[in-house]
């Protein structure tokens, strides 16, 4: 079984990109320790706990010789959040709109692993991960030639941009590696200058504790007071540093109606007020089997309350005063509602 045969099978299974990186001590893997040491992981303690394995896939699977890196495009033809500024719309990061990518991509990878297993000899070992494994996915993707790690820290492919889910199969086969991608950011710094919170503290270095994606998704408790006003209308995640990137300027292809990444109705451009007025049970149903289950309804309500305060949107503030779904009275949510109303009512 050759690398080319694996790539052809990956394309049949719906992967947009497939490349091979050697399981080796790549230079960029070493940045993780310093990044953790600076406290940039915030509350994401799992990154610290698994740092040994994240530094080298051979600590995950000692027989690892190659990492088969895969990318799946999730863009749809909906407008960018930067085009919706001041529109009252609740901004939800596009990766979270549709089906849970962990489920969709894990199934495709299992099919690829099974296909490989049928062809490989005895002793074949493989582990397939999408997002949740102890692997620095972007580093391997760069070495597999899928794209370079941009100054916004995302992997960018020169032909298809960075709206990509990464996943990988660590395997015991010594496959022919691809040529690593070259950095094409040049003198551009649009992502750094456009980040609303200054989270990209240096080119290629992101302080998660300032990133809206971390604050609205990963952070479990109260949002720090001094960061709330910079949240704007970002109710879940943030896409700005990718939207401004020239490599994502090409409009998306018209949507295939069967695409798993199309937004569910509740998250297809709702205003902040409409999102707040949606009953808890409906929000829960809309989140089912989507990536948004990570934050859940409680944190989504916390975020929408912060957005209402941060934007001062009159309809959203009215909705905060009117609607009393059970989760609105949750102490975490109530504190953020109180903050938003205090800010505007005095
Ligand atoms: C933790 C995490 C986060 C954290 C931290 C992000 C981060 N930049 O690390 C938070 C919650 C903020 C986050 C946000 C997002 N994430 Co995230 N996240 C991860 C996760 C689980 C681990 C990333 C990691 O290891 N970080 C640790 C640090 C050290 O790595 P790093 O910032 O990537 O730094 C690299 C380089 O920038 C460089 N570097 C670092 N320091 C230095 C210093 C110098 C001097 C130099 C030269 C280089 C350099 O080397 C590092 C090597 O790893 C990965 C999945 C995975 N298992 O890999 C997904 C992943 C990176 N996330 C992803 C996505 C889609 C997002 C969001 C777009 C979601 C959203 N819309 O809200 C945002 C994007 C924000 C951004 N600009 O990165 C995708 C990225 C796909 C792509 N095209 O790159 C991944 C790969 C998940 C997946 N399987 O598809 N995420
Ligand atoms: S996702 Fe948003 S907040 Fe985070 S670094 Fe990018 S622009 Fe900044
Ligand atoms: S916006 Fe510019 S600097 Fe940032 S990742 Fe894209 S090309 Fe690189």
249-263, 282-296, 323-337, range with the lowest pLDDT: 249-263
Report residue 134's pLDDT band, with 50, 70 and 90 as the boundaries: very high
Q: Give the burial class of 254: count Cβ atoms within 10 A of its Cβ; 0-12 exposed, 13-18 middle, 19 or more buried.
A: exposed
Which member of 4, 56, 131, 207 is catalytic? 131
Looking at the CA of residue 234, tell me the nearest atom of ligand 2: 2
Residue 156 CA, ligand 1 centroid: distance in Å: 12
pLDDT above 80 for 252: no
Q: Is the pLDDT of residue 254 over 80?
A: no
pLDDT digit string, tens, across residues 216-250? 999 999 999 999 999 999 999 999 999 999 999 98
- Residues 141-154, mean pLDDT to the nearest whole number: 98
Q: Which ligand is nearest to the CA of 184?
A: 3
Q: Give me the pLDDT at residue 346, please.
A: 66
Given a cut of 80, whether residue 251 has pLDDT beyond it is no
pTM: 0.97
pLDDT beyond 70 at 340? yes
Find out whether 308 and 319 touch, Cβ atoms under 8 Å. yes
Residue 109 per-residue DSSP state: H
Tens digits of per-residue pLDDT, 157-189?
999 999 999 999 999 999 999 999 999 999 999
DSSP state of 92: E
Q: Residue 305 and residue 42: Cα distance in Å, rounded?
A: 22
Which parts of the chain are beta strand (E)? 17-22, 66-73, 91-92, 126-129, 148-149, 155-156, 164-171, 200-202, 205-206, 234-236
Distance (Å, whole) CA 177 – CA 196: 39
Catalytic annotation on 330? no
User: According to the model, what pLDDT value does residue 262 have?
Assistant: 94
Q: Give the tens place of pLDDT for each residue, 82-93.
A: 999 888 999 999
Sign of the dihedral defined by the CA atoms of residues 306, 310, 315, 317, in that order: positive
Note whether 326 and 295 are within 8 A (CB): no
Residues contacting residue 215 through CB under 8 Å, at least 6 positions apart: 223, 227, 231
In the predicted model, what is the mean pLDDT of the chain? 96
Nearest residue to 237 (alpha-carbon basis) of 104, 90, 337 = 90
At 98 the three-state DSSP class reads: coil
Tell whether ligand 1 has an atom less than 6 A from the beta carbon of residue 309: no
Q: How far is CA 173 from CA 1, 66, 90, 166, in A?
A: 9, 6, 46, 20
Exposed (0-12), middle (13-18) or buried (19+): which is 274, by Cβ within 10 Å? middle
Q: Can you give the pLDDT at residue 207? A: 98
Contact yes or no for 41/208 (Cβ under 8 A) = yes
Name the residue at shortest CA distance from atom 2 of ligand 2. Answer: 238
Q: How far apart are CA 327 and CA 301, in angstroms?
A: 8
How many helices, marked H, and strands, marked E, lie in the chain? 15, 10
Q: Residue 48 has what pLDDT? A: 97
């Amino acid at each position: 079984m050759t690398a080319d045969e694996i790539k052809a099978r990956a394309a049949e299974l719906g992967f947009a990109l497939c490349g091979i990186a050697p399981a080796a001590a790549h230079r960029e893997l070493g940045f993780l320790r310093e990044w953790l040491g600076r406290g940039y992981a915030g509350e994401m303690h799992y990154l610290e706990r698994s740092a040994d394995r994240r530094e080298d896939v051979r600590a995950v699977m000692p027989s690892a010789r190659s990492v088969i890196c895969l990318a799946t495009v999730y863009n749809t033809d909906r407008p960018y959040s930067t085009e919706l500024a001041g529109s009252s719309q609740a901004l939800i990061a596009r990766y979270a709109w549709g089906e849970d990518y962990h489920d969709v991509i894990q199934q495709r990878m299992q099919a690829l692993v099974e296909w490989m297993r049928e062809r490989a000899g005895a002793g074949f070992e493989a582990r397939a991960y999408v997002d949740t494994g102890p692997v620095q996915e972007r580093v391997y993707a760069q070495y597999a030639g899928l794209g370079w790690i941009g100054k916004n820290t995302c992997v960018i492919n020169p032909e298809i941009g960075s709206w990509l889910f990464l996943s990988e199969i660590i395997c015991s086969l010594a496959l022919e590696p691809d040529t690593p991608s070259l950095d094409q950011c040049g003198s551009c710094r649009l992502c750094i200058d456009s980040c609303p919170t200054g989270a990209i503290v240096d080119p290629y270095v992101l302080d998660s504790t300032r990133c809206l994606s971390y604050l609205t998704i990963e952070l479990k408790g109260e949002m720090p007071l001094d960061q709330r006003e910079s949240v704007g209308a970002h109710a879940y995640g943030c896409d700005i540093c990718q939207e401004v990137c020239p490599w994502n300027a090409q409009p998306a292809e018209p949507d295939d109606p069967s695409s798993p990444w199309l937004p569910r109705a509740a998250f297809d451009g709702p205003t902040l007020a409409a999102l707040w007025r949606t009953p808890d049970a409906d929000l829960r149903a809309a989140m089912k089997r989507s990536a948004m289950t990570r934050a859940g309804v409680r944190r989504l309500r916390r975020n929408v309350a912060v957005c209402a305060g941060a934007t001062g949107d009159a309809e959203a503030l009215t909705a905060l005063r009117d609607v009393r779904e059970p989760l609105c009275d949750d102490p975490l949510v109530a504190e953020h509602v109180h903050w938003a109303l205090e800010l505007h009512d005095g």
